[in-house]
Structure formats: C-alpha cells, structure tokens
Structure 1
C-alpha cells in the first residue's frame, strides 16, 4: 500500500522520500536549485562541486537546499532524470508528425545534437553518472533503448525498414548519437549539426557498402 504524502512545515509534500513543492514559489525555488546544480556540477564535476557552490549560484541560503534535497547525490540523480525527460520530450516534438521511420531518425538525431549543444552541462552530468550513480545511468539508457526498440519493431511491421534484431539496432543507433554528442560537447567539435547529421544519416540508411 502506497504511503500517503506527508505535509511538511515548509509547504512541501514528502512522499516516498521525495520532497515536492506545493506552491508556485516553492517550485520556482526547487527549479532554481536544479538549474544551478546543472551549471555547477556540469562545469566543476561532481566531486569538486559543493552544496555551497550550488546555493550560491542559485542565490538561496544553504539551508534552503535541504528543504528540497537531502544531499548532493540526490540532486545529481534528479538531474539525470531531468536530462532523460527533456531529451525524450525534444525527440518526441521533433518527430511527432513524421510517419516514415528513416525520416524520423534524421529528425531525431538533429534534435538530440541541437539539445546537447544547448545543454552541455547536462550532457557532462550524464557522462559522469556512470561513476557517480550507475543505477541512474543504466536507467537513463535502458529507458531510451526500450522506446527505441518499440519504434523500430513498428517500422519493420509497417515495411519502412528491413527486418533485424531491434534491440541490437536500438543500442547501435543510440551509440551513434552518444558518440557524436560526446565529440561535440566533450571534445568541442564545431562541425555544423546539419553536416554531421547528413553524414551520419547516410551511414544509417546506406551503410558503408560502395
């Protein structure tokens, strides 16, 4: 039986260990802390970033942090979840009116690379999550893989792509996006997104065979 939410003295609800603001002001403060944590941890790395750095960046008292998060680890895990939510939303919006799977692949890759170039700190956090929070890191990629696999299976049934192992294909296509994202954010590649996507999409559609 699920535990009932417990109202705290700070105007928040606490359910299953997660503290949720109940007012617009509280939600704005929580978002400010998350946004500051994104910048601070993305720039400094998890070990070098402190709660003091985060609250200073957010412009709130250090004690305010603990109203919404129990620890730096918890805010880090929330940022990994946030990255997943935001990326899935960006991909969904970019591909929602595209019926052909191959066209959707191109639009999705474009949306992903544009997103991570606009949010480099979040992308660095995902990279670091492998060591800081492996469980969140695994969940991030497995969630994407499940959705990707379902989309590929549907495209096979619709005759848009040839039959094949949808799971391996999903991870391979995710690997292309991940590596190109890493090259852009971690290694600072400045190749225009449209040029990167044209080359990568040609590889996806036509392979390497002459």
Structure 2
C-alpha cells in the first residue's frame, strides 16, 4: 500500500505545482520512483487518482466545514466558515492548490471526473456555497441579517472567498487578515452590527 500512497503523494505535488492537464502518468511514476505499470495496478486512469485525492481532501475539509456551519447564531456561523476556509488555505496549501488546479483544468478541458460535475473539486465549492447559503437564510429568518436575495449574496461571498484565497495561495499579502475584513465587510452588507 505504500506504493499507492507514494503515487497519490506524487500526483498531488505535481498537480498542485503544474496543473492536472500538465501532469502525466509518466511524470507521476517518475516523481514517485515507481514503474508506470504499478500506477495502473492501483488506478484505472489518472482521473481515478485525481478523484481519490479529491475525495480525501474534500472529506477532511467537510468535517471542519460541518463543524463550523453547525454553530449558532448565524453571524458567528458565517465568521466560523471564513475562519475554517482560510485556516485550510494557510495550513493545507498543497491541498488547496491541488483542488484549484483540478477544478480549473477539468472544467477548461470538459473532463468529467466525479459524478458528472465537470471536475472533482467542484463539489468543494458546492459544499462551501451551500453552507454559506444555509447560514444566510437562517440569518434572514432569525432577523440577524437583512438580505433580499440570499442566493446572490452567497455567490458573491463565495467569489470573494475564492478570490482572496487564490491571492493568498499565490503569495500576495499572505499576512493579510482576510477573516476579520470579511466578517466586518459582510456584517455591514448584511445589516448585522456586533
């Protein structure tokens, strides 16, 4: 089983650094120091290896997201989602880069890897979007937030999170306190006053 893990580790490193499309099975096996045939012993295809890695990363991410999204009241829940996501970006940079690379390359190439969604890491964004949307809807119901279109606001928050995460991953202002600024900005935008 160590050979399988070596192949997964090599795949993750290469995809995070160079993208899914640029990463070939030959490069993966060379990086892992293993024979190419061994790759196909463990995986049907490169997409199967990408799916295995994605499932592992998403599973870990989702445990923390579910914990963060379970907090109440909604303003604290939204802040906890921000904290969780940016802790993941800071502490699991290779995983975050991998998910981004796979989603970009698979969507751009029209590859369907997991569940016909157009790319394995789109599930990552779907889960994050739904946690944000559920939090906003709960906040509107409780009177903590004022928002006429929670779906649109959730999409805007997701876009802000994604964009700021990409900036941090690229090394731009890695020390910037993203979470406190997001909490303050969206607290005002949603009419919440702490």
Shift in alpha-carbon separation, 1:51–1:168, aligned structure 2, 3 A: same
1:66 paired with 2:40, answer yes
1:196 paired with 2:169, answer no
Q: Which has the higher contact order (CA 8 A, sep 6+)?
A: 2
For the residue of structure 2 that corresponds to 1:160, the secondary structure is coil
Residues 40 and 49, structure 1, Cα contact 8 Å, conserved in 2: yes
Structure 1 residue 42: deviation in Å?
0.8
Of Structure 1 and Structure 2, the greater strand share is in 1
5+ residue gaps, structure 2: 108-117
How many residue pairs are counted as aligned between the two chains?
180
Shift in alpha-carbon separation, 1:129–1:47, aligned structure 2, 3 A: closer
Per the alignment, residue 61 of structure 2 pairs with 87
Per the alignment, residue 50 of structure 1 pairs with 24
TM-score (norm 1): 0.71
Per the alignment, residue 139 of structure 2 pairs with 155
Please say which structure displays the higher CA radius of gyration. Answer: 1
- Aligned-pair RMSD on alpha carbons? 2.8
Shift in alpha-carbon separation, 1:196–1:50, aligned structure 2, 3 A: same
TM-score (norm 2): 0.75
Shift in alpha-carbon separation, 1:66–1:138, aligned structure 2, 3 A: same
